[in-house]
Every structure is written in structure tokens, then in C-alpha cells.
Structure 1
């Protein structure tokens, strides 16, 4: 491998000479330290061999001494390539201009990627970066990554960390958003029912329960209220009026908390499904064809593929690639790849038992998609819906009973199911406390 590279850098020629002169020619050249290789048969009574460019002149003396004549049929290597370039100055100038243009374009930013954001939009981060000097076409030498990170952090309040890195003509902005701490209970929150059901278990950690085990609740009904009522007053004796009024004011003070608890209820799901015994279905046949076209403005030019789709029934998948914008200039050129997949029509026939199993499976899958991940199935009933006459349709109804958590937090509202306590002297005590909050 090293010898091939060395021969290419030095340059070499391929010569032909008569076959009867080969032995004397090679022996005399070898004794003079001339390296020959690649000896092969040529047209007629000739042989071809390779020699370095610097050995051509000594080989002429060898040819005269052996009374042989050789002819150069091919020239290879770097010296000959440079000689061709010297004669083709336009090509050399074009290559030089291309290298200069490529170097110049590589000194600008052409791609900007933003990763790590979820709630903060890319447009907001890109707008702040643009104001700080980062945009498509910006020179890389004017980009200060540390200053850009600081600017984005200061102007986008929802970010906890920003990292900017440059990779060639691409800038990658990595961000980490702030994670807000959980609600510490400063604002009143009720536990409401997520769906209809029959209360099976209730465990109150904080707040005032408004339902008990065995109660039927509807979606949105308050289960545990954030409003804790004052304790009931048992008047065993009648103190003086001033002390009694003060004690009553103290005990009628309402308290608002962040309601917490676990409420499990029995939930019923009901799904109906039907399957035909004979049905026309379509599925891919395995045949597909691809068309490649270029769209310039409103004109579409087909570069590869058919002009008309050869399938009667087919699906179409398009992949459109556009040139990136440069300084808000959109280049109206698109490369479109369209893949057509042939679809065949088939008749799917099922027996009644197969259709029933399929209908049950589909109904159960639909029910599972409606259930939360922690739901516990207590009972499942499957029955076939019969009709008066024979039909080519199998109908089933699936009913499932589950035990699941139905509590959901919701901000407390004055009319959202509180304790309903009213102080005859001060009016609605709950409203007054709520306004104070």
C-alpha cells in the first residue's frame, strides 16, 4: 500500500516493448537499480510494464544497449495530474473558487436546534436568541456562547439551565425547564369525583368528608371538602351573654385546608360491539412503487417513477423536503418522494364462534382503554345479543365492574359543596372566610 502511494506521488508510466527483448531489458534495468512492476501481455507480440517517471531516461540507455525500442502508452501519478490542471486553468480556477466558497459558507451559522423544552415554545427561545445575535446566516466569529446563555436565562424566566454549543454550521441550544414545587396547601382544594360510582372505601387525610361508604356519587360531586366546619356547641349551661357570644364567635370560625384523601368506588362499564360474518377488507399486496419529483413554485417535475399510478386501490405516503430558510427568504423548491402501496380487496369469512370471540376481544380492549392503570376488575359479564331472525352479524355486550380511585383535586369554590354552615348573625360564614382568602 505504501509503495503504491509512493509511486503515485512520484508518477509512473506504462511502456510496451517486444517480448523477445523482455529478459535482457529487465535484467539490465535491475542491475542499474531501476524498479519495474506490473508486467503483463499486451496486443500483438508485446508486453507491458510500469516504471517510475524518473527512471524513463535511464531506460532509454538500457533500450539502446539491448537494441530494443519501447513506447509509452499511459502516464499516471501526481505530476501528470498537476500538468493537466496547469493546462486547464478554468477548471483549476473553478475548483479554487469552490473551496473558497465552501470555506466562507462554513464560517456562518445555518442550522439552529433547540432541545429539552416542553412548556416553553421554540419560537420564544429562538426569538430571544435572534435578538442576542443568533440567527441563520450569522457569522460564527461574532457568536459568544456564554453571553448567549446568560441572555436566554435572563429573558426566559421558565428555564433553569441553558447550554449553547457550536458544531460546524449547526448551533445546539439545550435547555432545562424549571420544575415548580408541588402545592403546599396554601390554597383551598377539594377532592371531587372523577366519574359516577358507588363509594366502597374512603380515607380522609385532611379536609371534611361529605360522603360515606355506600353512597352513590356523580362526576364532579365534592367528596372531601376543603372547608372544615366548626365543632358543634353543646349548651349544658348558660354562661353570661358576653362570654357566650365570644365563645360562639371562636367556635364558628371556619378553616380552609388542602383536602387530601383516598376515595375508591365501584365503577361499571358497558360496551356494545358487533362483527359481521362476511366482510370485505383491504390489505397490502406487497407491491409498491416510488415516484421522485421536484416542485419549483407551482410546477411539478417528475424525476423518477411513473406518471400514472398503476394500481386501482392504493395508499399514498408523501415525504417532502424543503431547503432551509436563509434570512427569512423561502426558496420555493421542494423534493417530494411519494410511495404508492397497492391494496387488495379480500372477503373475510368467520364462523359464529370466531366472530363472537373477536367481538369480545375488541370490546374488552375498548373497555381497558377507558379504565385507569390502577383499576381492579371485580366482575366481567359477556352476553350475546340475540335478535328475532337469523343475521350474518354477531352482537355482544360486555359489562365490567371495577374498583378504582375516583378522587381528583379541584380548587375550592364557595358553591362547590362546602359544609353549608350559615351563622344567623354574620350571614354566610363560609363566604366571608373565602373572601378573606
Structure 2
């Protein structure tokens, strides 16, 4: 009984009640006709049993033959749960549409997993895949795995192995990176000297190989030999080695920054044009009531925002992209001295971030000179920086 109930959610059964007649002959004839009957239970007024739905009509004829009144007491199974819905065409249509949408969406790639990379970024790998047609939202037939693998190997030198595996709507890009170190500017087996690449005062030395040619605290000039790769061995012979070491010096550097009072700037106007697209993966459908294309982008600036389309809080594969074309106008703006100083300070900060980030700034003395057409700021830097570049030794035999 427990086994039948466990299967009743999907298998179909009918529980029948039989009253009067010749019940023993009825059951015997059912067995003779290969009609399966289960869980026969005899009661005071009749019997209860379980049969399959497709056997009911034949069972009813045999029951009538033996004078038994047959009644259906209970119907169990998935098919009987669907029968009340057979006239609700909306549910049937919705189920068919749902299946059609699932089949349609399964023809696209919705997720790309990058596995095995550490030095090479996901962005680099995805950029190569996108060039070959592999991106979220693309068709499963729009790219070739072998082409994607070979392109990634050719364009990204750090990769030693690439495998693109397609699993339904998910694509896994498995990579392995090379363990070879980046080649040095001068091979380690090549004899070389270390010379200064800046003027300054030597404040720290750490010699790994070679012979120091000056002392800490001495002044040095650009191009001066600091670590020599020509040394004497214990036997009195001259040998050539690959000189190397860590050198630090205090250097002085002067930079000038100038900005005029009157500057021509491109200013955004209130004239704007919009272009709206409905995105489905890599496909873009322009909306005709809000679509603009600039034939010449001169005089315009373009910006765009992309939004996910969600229904009842759940994200859908659709996206909404809106681009804005804003016309620019050239205007001559006259700035005050305070505004110019603010801009000069920003120029100085940007310069330090871009060119002096590897140095330690000990001091920066500023000299401000106001001229007729602008302001000039001269900055004298005192820096602590690493110095020294390697220069191969040419040996003549």
C-alpha cells in the first residue's frame, strides 16, 4: 500500500467498490482476462479494490455480467489532476509559450566563466573572445571554439594553453599561463657595468655583483660609472661579470607649469539628441520614436547608459540602452588668478602621479610668477630615487 501511494503522484489508479452479485466469479474472470486488480478488501456490503484506468470499461462489463454494481470511489494520479484543466486554454497556451521561450533562450550563450588565470585578467581574455563572436547573448552557433582558442594563444603571450568548452547556455574558457619570467633587458650571462642615469648625490648602495667605483655621499653625474663589471679574481686575473646592485641618490629637478588667463574651452549646450535601443544579448533594436544618428561627431559629445530590464524584481535577458548626443560650443573663458592657481595645482599633482610616483619627494619649492597673459609656476623638486642603468661591456680579443 505504501509503495502504491509513493507512486500515485505520477501513476494513475482507480479505487472501485463492488456491491452484490457473484464477487468470487467476478474476480476469477478478471484474472483470467489478465486484468490486474490490487488490494482486494472484503467488507460487509461488498468489496474494495484498485485497478488501472484503462481496465475500467472491461471491468465494468464483467461486473455487469455477474450482477455486481460497480462504483468509482477514488481516482489517483497525475493524469486525473490535469483533467479539470483540459478546457482552460489559457494555461495550455501559457505552458506552450513557456516551453517555446525556454527552447529559444537555450540557443544563446548567457554566461562565460574564465578559469585558471592569475596574471592575465578576465577583461583581456573576454576582449579576445568578443572579437571572435563569443560574448554573453550571442548565438551558440555564432562562434567557433577552435578559432577562439587559437586567437587567444596568438594575442596573449602569457597563455600556454586555452580550451573553450560549451555546456548548454554556459561557456567555460579554461586557460593555463606560462611560468617563464619576463626576459631581462640584458641577459644575466652578459658582462655589463652600471652607470648613473641622473645627476645627484649618492646616499645608499647595495652591491650584488661587481665593484663600486665611488663612495656614499659623493656627487654623481649622468653617465658616470658607478658599479664596474671588470673585477680581479683571487689569482690576479681580470674577469668580466654582470654588475648589479641597488643605488639610491638625492636628485634635484625643476619643472615649469603655465596657464593663460584666457582659454578656449568646449562647453556643453542644452541641445541634445537621444538614441534608444532595446538590447537582447549582442542584438540591438533601435526604437523608431527616439533614434538619432550623428553623421559627423565633430561638435558633439556622446554618452550612454545601460539599464537591466526586470519584471517583478527578477532580471530578464533584455537591456535598455540610451545614448545622448550633446552639442558642444567653443567659448573663450577668462579665469581669475585663483582659478588659475587651482588648475596649476592640479597640473602639478597629475605630473607627480604620472612621472614621480616611483620617487620620494623630499621637498618642492615653488616660485609663482604672474605674467601679462597668465601665471607661471616653477617647482624645484628634491627627490630620493633609484638610479643606475646597465650598459654591456664590449670585450675585444
Query: TM-score when scaled to structure 2?
Result: 0.49
- Determine which structure has the larger strand proportion and give its number: 2
